[in-house]
Structure 1
Amino acid sequence: MSVRRFVGANSRDVMRQVREALGEDALIVANRRTEGGVEILAMADEAIDHFEPSPEPPAPETPVTPPVQDPLQAMSERLLQEMQDMRALLASNQAAGAVSAPQGAPADTAARLRQMLWSVGFGSELADELLAGLPEPLKASSSDSDAPLQWLRQQLMARLCVLSDEPSFFDQTGIVALVGPTGVGKTTTTAKLAARFVMRHGTRPVALVTTDSFRIGAHEQLRIYARLLDTPMYALDAEQPIDDLLGRLQGKQWVIIDTVGMSQRDQRVIEQIAHLQGGRSRVRLVLLLNAASQPETLEEVVLRYRQAARAAGAELDDCIITKQDEAGRLAPVLDIVMRHGLRVLFGSNGQQVPEDMAIATPATLVDQALSTATPQREQAQRADVPMGMPRWSRDVLGQGRRLSSLLARLRQRVTGFAELEAMWDLASLPSRLQEERLDALLARYPAAQTTLGMAWSARRNERGCDWAMPDIGLDAEGAWLALPWLQHRHPAGWQPRLAALTQASGVAVHLLPRLPEPEALAWLETEHLTWVSQVASSHRIVSHHERQPLRQLFNDSVLTHHVGVRFRGQSMQLWTAHAEVDDATGLALLAWYGEVRDPESAKVVARRYWLTPARLGTEVLSLLLTQLQSDGLATLTRRAWQQLKEADSGEVNAEVRLLMASGLAAVAGHLDVAEDEEAQTLRGDVLNLSGTSRRRRDTGMLDALVYAFMARDAIRQLGSVSREGVV
C-alpha cells in the first residue's frame, strides 16, 4: 500500500476522508493549502514497514529530461524513508542491548526503578525527570535494598500537589462548580462535598444547584440528596449565569453546582464554562477525573477542559479523583495530575455519602499507585518491551525547559512580549472567540508610560499582500515593542491619528514614512513633539531663498560623517550630510541625505532623504538610524505571515495572525540591532534553539522565534511543561 492523496474543501472534510479510508491510526505524511481547499498525503500505519521509496532512475544512454516530481510527493517519500531508518535503528539498538546484557544479570538501580514506574503506569517522561536526580550512593545499592524505592516514593510525593487540610476548602465561602465528562461521578461527589460541609457548618449556609437538564432523573437524584441533607436545591438552565439565582441564595455562604456532563470533545464545553463565569459572581472550578479511564482519555479531558476555562477567562487548577475503587492502576491519573500541575482535593472510592471520600494525601495516593507493581520476575520477562513514550519525548522535555527560560528572559527584556504571548494564546481559541478576545487585549495595551515613540508605517498594503504593515511602538530606550498597532484601528487622517495616540499613550516621538499635510505638521510643532519624516528625493524645500528638490540640494555634497547601522540583517555604515532649509510656510527644518554603504566594498546599497525640525538640531541622528533599521521589518513580517498561514490552514483570525507575524518581526529586529552583552547572549540562544544558521541574522532569528512559539504551543498541548501566564 502506498501513500494516498486526499483533497477536501477544508481540514475537517479531508480528515474525515482519511479516517474513513485508512482508519483512526492513519499517518499524515504531509499537507498543504490548494486552490480547491486542503490536500493531505496519508497512509495506513502498518504500511510503513512495506513501503519502498522510489528507486533512483538509471542513467540513460542518451540525455533524457527527468520527469518533474511533485515536491509534496518527494517530501513524503523522504519522510517515510526516515521512518524506516528510525525503526531499523531502534530495532538494532534493542537487539544489541539484549545481546550485551548476560541472561539473568541484575539491571542497575535506575533501570530497575524505571521499569517499576512503567509497570505501574507512570510515563517515561516523568520517570526520566525523577531518575535524573537519583543520588550517586543509591545508584550503587544492591537489588535487595529498600533505600532506592523509599527515595523514589519521596520524590513522587513531593511532586503531588494536594489540599493542605479539609478546613481550607470548606471554610472558604463562595461558589464551587464541579465539571467533567459524563459518568465521572459529579452528582455523587456534589452530595459528598455538601455532606462534608453540613457536618462542619450545618445546613443553613449551604445550597445545591444543578444545571443538568439533559439526563432523565438528574434533578431527582440531586433532590433526594438535598432532602436527606435538609438543604435547598435549585435548578439552573445551562445557559443562565449563576447571578440569576443570587436573589434566592441570600444568606448562603457555600454553593456547589452539579454541571452537565459533557464529552471533552463537545464544543459546548466552552459555552458551559463561559456561562458559569459570565456573571458577576466568581465561580471556582473543580475538574473530576475518573481514575478508571484510559490515560489518553484523561490527557484529553485535562487539555480540553483547561482550554475551555482559559477561553472563559477562568482558571482550572483543582481536581478530584473519582472511582479509585474501579481503577486497576492509579499511577496513570497521578502521572497526568503531576505533569499538568493540578492540585488534588479529594479522592473518591465508592457510592456511599459521605463515607467514600477522603482528603487527598500524597503518601496514600503514591502507596496505592506503587502497590500494583509487578514482581521482579515478571518485570524481567517484560524487559524487552518498549517503555511508554519514545526517546524524542524526553528531548521535547529538555526543549521545554530551554524554551521556558528563553521566553522568560525575552519577557523581561522586550516591552510588550507578554502581550505577544497572549496574542499567540488567542490563536488556540475557537475562531468565534478570537476577535472578541483580541478587542479586549488591545484595549489594555500598551500599559501607561511604556511607549515613548511610534515608527509609523506607509499607509498602503505591502507588495503582493492584502494587509498593511502595522505601526511599531518604541520604548523609553528607543527599542521596538513586541506587539505592534494595526493601521486600520487608528483614526483616519494624520492629525487625528497623531493626536489620538499622543493623548492615549503619551507618545512624544513620531517617525513618519512621509511628510504629513501642513495642518498635521503645524500641530506637531505646536505640541513641541519630536518628529522625523522620510521624504522623496524630489521633495521641494527652500534653501537660500531658492525652491529646489532635495536631490539637487545634496547633488555635490561630500559625505564625511558615518555611523554603524544594522540594515536588513547586515552590518552597514550610514554616511550622512545635512543642511538648514525651510518649507513653503517658512518653518525652519534640517534636510538630511544618507547613503547606506557596505563597509567592505564601499558600495551604496540604499539612499534616503529626511526632514527634521531645526529646533532639535543634529541630535535626531539616532532617530534616523532607528527609522532606517525598521526598513526590514515589513519583509520579516511577510515571511512570518506566510509561515503562520501555512501552519494554521487559514483558521486563525487575520488580525491575530498579522499581529503575531509583525510581533515576531519586531522581536527579531530588536535582538538583531542591539549590541549589549545580554542581547548577544539572547541571540545565540534563540538561534541555537532551532539550530538555525543563515547568512542574514534577522531572518535566522525570525525563523527560530517562529519555531520557538510553535514548539511552545506543541509542548503545552502535550502537557510536558506548565503554562506560562496564559490569558
Structure 2
Amino acid sequence: MNVRRYRARDMREAMRQVREYQGPDAVILSTHRVDGMLEVVAAFDSELVEQEGVTPAKLGTTARSRDNLPPSDPDLEAMRRELSDLRHLLVAQNNATEMAQWAARHPLAAELVSRLAHCGFNEKLARSLVGGIAEDQHIETAWSRLRARLSAALTVTQPDVLERGGMLALVGPTGVGKTTTISRLALRQMRRMGREAVSLVTLDRQRFGAYKQLQAFGQMAGLSVMLMEDERELTTLASHTGDGRLVLIDTAGRAARDMMERRLFSTVRAETSLETWLVVAATHQARVMNQILQAFEGCEPTALVLTKVDEAALLGEVLSVLLEQRLGLTFYSDGQRLTEDFHAIDTAHLTSLALREVVTQQQPRRWAGQQSTAGMGGADELSAYNPYANHADSQAGMILESVVPFSKRPHVGF
C-alpha cells in the first residue's frame, strides 16, 4: 500500500499531484486545511494492481523514478501498515463469509470437509472428495461413500522386480528406514524363493554404523553383504547375477536439498537394468514430503514405500500429498518387527487409519508372499529381530566377519 501526503493551494492542484505521482487509480483518504494550504492524503494499492495484471505502462506517469516522489514520514508509514493489515483482514473475512455461505448451502458436504480437515487432509482435496455426494444422504452413508472414494483414489503399484529378479535400490532421506526395509524385503524373498535367490549390497559409507546394521541381519539370515565403493561397481556385479536373483541395494540417506542436482545411478542405468524405489516416512509434513518427491525425481523411482505409519500424527496430511503425485505405493510398515509390521499396500486399511477410525484388533496380517518357513533354519527367529537392538556384546565378532568388500571378492555369494 503506497500512501502519500500532498499540499496544494486548491483541490485541482492537489489532484494533479496525486495523478502525477500515484496515477489515476489512487484513492483520496482525507483532506483538510493546514496553515492555509489544502493537505490531501492519498493511497495506491500496488499489491492489488499486481494481482490484477496492471503494469506500470498502464498507469502513465506512475512509472517515474522514486527519487522524484515526495518523501514519506513515520505517520504515513504507520498508516500504510494499518491499511495493509486492514486489507488482509477484509480478505480473510470475505473468505470466511464465502465458506460460511457455502456451508449453509451444503451442510452435509461442509461436515464431511470438516471431518477430513480434522484428519489432516487439505481443504482442496477434501472439497474434491465430497463433490457430487447428495445432500439428502445420512451422514454415515455419505462418510462410507467418502471412505470408498479415498481408498480407490490411492495409487497402488505391484512391480515385477520381486518376481523376475534383478537389481533393486532403495533411495530416500536419512532416517526413513531404508536399511530396515531392505532387511524386510530380503526376508520376504528368502521365504518365497529360498536363500540363494537374494543378495545384499550396501553403498552407505557415510552414516556411522549404517552398514553394520545390514551386516548383522545378513549374518543372522545367512546372507553375504557386499560393501561397495561406488555405483560403478554395480555394473560388474550385474554381469555375475544369475536369472531370478534379486540384488537389494541399500544407499546412503541424503537431504532433499542435496539431491536437487544429483542423479543417482545415471551412469549405471546406461549399462545395466536397475530399478529404484523411494522410501518416505509417514511422519513427514506435507511441505517436506513435496520437497522429497521433487528432489528424488532424478533417481527415477518407480514405486513408493511408506514407513512409520504407526508414528504419524495425521496420516491424512501425507496421503493428501501422495494422492497428487504419480508414483504408486507398493509396501508400508507400521512397527519395528521385520515381518508382522511390513505389509503389501492395503488401501482400505490405510484409509481407515487416515480417517482415524477404530481398527478392530485381529490376528497379525500376513504380508504378500508369506509362506511356511520350514527348512529355512533361523528365518523364524528373524521375525522378532529388532534391527535397532543392541547386539554389541553378543555379535561383535560376527558383524566383522560378515563384511565382504566387493572390490576384493566380487564372486562371493553367487
Structure 1 residues 58, 127: CA separation in 2 closer, same or farther (over 3 Å shift)? farther
Equivalent position amino acid for 2:273 in 1: R
Equivalent position amino acid for 1:282 in 2: S
1:316 to 293, 301, 304: 301
Shift of 1:58: 5.0
Aligned pairs for 1:148-547 (under 5 A) are: 148-163=142-157, 168=160, 170-240=162-232, 242-250=234-242, 253-267=245-259, 270-277=262-269, 279-306=270-297, 308-309=298-299, 315-371=300-356
Question: Residue deviations 1:245-296, cap 9 Å, x none?
Answer: 224434662111111100011047623342553x411211111110011111
Equivalent position amino acid for 1:256 in 2: L
Shift of 1:222: 0.9
Equivalent position amino acid for 1:119 in 2: H
Q: State the structure with bigger RCO (CA 8 A, min sep 6), 1 or 2.
A: 2
Q: Are 2:136 and 1:140 aligned? A: yes
Shift of 1:70: 11
CA distance in 2, matches of 1:197, 1:153: 33
Equivalent position amino acid for 1:280 in 2: E
- Unaligned 5+ runs, structure 2: 27-43, 52-83, 359-414
Question: Residue deviations 1:100-121, cap 9 Å, x none?
Answer: 899xx99711111111111101
Q: Hey, what does 2:64 align to over in structure 1?
A: none
CA distance in 2, matches of 1:272, 1:200: 30
Equivalent position amino acid for 2:324 in 1: R
User: Is the Cα–Cα contact under 8 Å of residues 204 and 252 in structure 1 kept in the other structure?
Assistant: no
Give the number of aligned pairs: 302
Q: Hey, what does 1:109 align to over in structure 2?
A: 108
CA distance in 2, matches of 1:194, 1:332: 30
Equivalent position amino acid for 2:290 in 1: E
User: Is the Cα–Cα contact under 8 Å of residues 329 and 372 in structure 1 kept in the other structure?
Assistant: no
Equivalent position amino acid for 2:127 in 1: D
Where 2:92 maps in the other structure, the secondary structure is helix
Shift of 1:206: 1.1
Where 1:139 maps in the other structure, the secondary structure is coil
Equivalent position amino acid for 2:125 in 1: L
Question: Residue deviations 1:657-714, cap 9 Å, x none?
Answer: xxxxxxxxxxxxxxxxxxxxxxxxxxxxxxxxxxxxxxxxxxxxxxxxxxxxxxxxxx
- Unaligned 5+ runs, structure 1: 1-51, 310-314, 374-727
Q: Hey, what does 1:131 align to over in structure 2?
A: 130
Shift of 1:327: 1.1
User: Is the Cα–Cα contact under 8 Å of residues 319 and 345 in structure 1 kept in the other structure?
Assistant: yes
Query: Which consecutive segments of 4 or more residues in structure 1 shift more than 6 A?
Result: 62-71, 80-83
CA distance in 2, matches of 1:304, 1:60: 62
User: Is the Cα–Cα contact under 8 Å of residues 163 and 359 in structure 1 kept in the other structure?
Assistant: no
Shift of 1:57: 3.8
Identity %: 27
Aligned pairs for 1:530-569 (under 5 A) are: none
Q: Hey, what does 1:677 align to over in structure 2?
A: none
Where 1:271 maps in the other structure, the secondary structure is coil
Structure 1 residues 276, 67: CA separation in 2 closer, same or farther (over 3 Å shift)? farther
User: Is the Cα–Cα contact under 8 Å of residues 241 and 275 in structure 1 kept in the other structure?
Assistant: no
Structure 1 residues 70, 233: CA separation in 2 closer, same or farther (over 3 Å shift)? farther
User: Is the Cα–Cα contact under 8 Å of residues 231 and 265 in structure 2 kept in the other structure?
Assistant: no
**Root mean square deviation of aligned Cα:** 3.4
Equivalent position amino acid for 1:284 in 2: E
Equivalent position amino acid for 1:90 in 2: A
CA distance in 1, matches of 2:124, 2:339: 36
User: Is the Cα–Cα contact under 8 Å of residues 209 and 233 in structure 1 kept in the other structure?
Assistant: yes
CA distance in 1, matches of 2:175, 2:282: 12
User: Is the Cα–Cα contact under 8 Å of residues 113 and 126 in structure 2 kept in the other structure?
Assistant: yes
Q: How high is the TM-score relative to the length of structure 1?
A: 0.38
CA distance in 2, matches of 1:216, 1:296: 28
Where 1:213 maps in the other structure, the secondary structure is coil
Shift of 1:225: 1.3
CA distance in 1, matches of 2:241, 2:261: 25
Question: Residue deviations 1:558-617, cap 9 Å, x none?
Answer: xxxxxxxxxxxxxxxxxxxxxxxxxxxxxxxxxxxxxxxxxxxxxxxxxxxxxxxxxxxx
Shift of 1:170: 2.3
Q: How high is the TM-score relative to the length of structure 2?
A: 0.64
